[in-house]
Chains A and B, each alone.
Chain A
Amino acid sequence: AQSVTQLGSHVSVSEGALVLLRCNYSSSVPPYLFWYVQYPNQGLQLLLKYTSAATLVKGINGFEAEFKKSETSFHLTKPSAHMSDAAEYFCAVSLGSQGNLIFGKGTKLSVKP
């Protein structure tokens, strides 16, 4: 069975600082991995996805994530935080094209001026 663990329910950084949101997964087969962002009272927007191509994935808004099979991780990073990055971030895993998405519990990112 697949599962996703997001370390840290709340991360706070200063504007301009590095953003690091952690995600570890468990999967018995090569996974598809996703990061979504959710702003208050809105749906989910896809930031980036890993689908067995390049291990370093670049997404929208300057975010990127690296798939590390040996560490079963897919951490999300951004070199310099912006106030507009404040939101809830969800990591998700699915088993291939037909699998449902399994979401982590989410990490709330706060950005201080």
Chain B
Amino acid sequence: GAVVSQHPSRVICKSGTSVKIECRSLDFQATTMFWYRQFPKQSLMLMATSNEGSKATYEQGVEKDKFLINHASLTLSTLTVTSAHPEDSSFYICSARAPSVLWAESSYNEQFFGPGTRLTVL
């Protein structure tokens, strides 16, 4: 199956610093990548959708100037949390979706998830 990696898996930073999280599709080219945020014991909330070479589409309520997303290549998307504060502490998960032509009907629309990044802001 398709593999998506995230780096780092865990990061602790001081308030006010910026943190970059990488999401890579290892064995396929992802035209679309998604960034989710998950608070403890809660579901995944979609933050933004990024398409390679274009600006990300942010969900309502997500500050685009605070959560910078770059999808510079078909295998890499980055999420930068700028001027992080304790309330930004969360589990961030990315997913990647390949062009439908590459998959059989049974895999249509499938998103492949990364292992997540635990961000703790002190």
Contacts and interface: CB of A to CB of B under 8 A. Distances in A.
Contacts of A104: 43
Interface stretch (A16-24, A40-48, A65-73, A74-82): A40-48
B108 A44 contact: no
B113 A103 contact: no
Contact of B109 (A90, A96, A105): A96
A41 B113 contact: no
B106 A97 contact: no
Contacts of A36: 113
Q: Name the prevailing secondary structure of the A interface residues.
A: loop
Interface stretch (B11-19, B60-68, B79-87, B114-122): B114-122
Contacts of B46: 100-101
Interface string B39-64: 00111101001000000000000000
Contact of A43 (B49, B108, B114): B114
Contact of A51 (B49, B109, B116): B109
A53 interface: yes
Interface string A21-61: 00000000000100010000111111001010100000000
Contact of B116 (A42, A103, A105, A106): A42
B49 A44 contact: no
B69 interface: no
A94 B43 contact: no
Contacts of A44: 44, 93, 95, 113
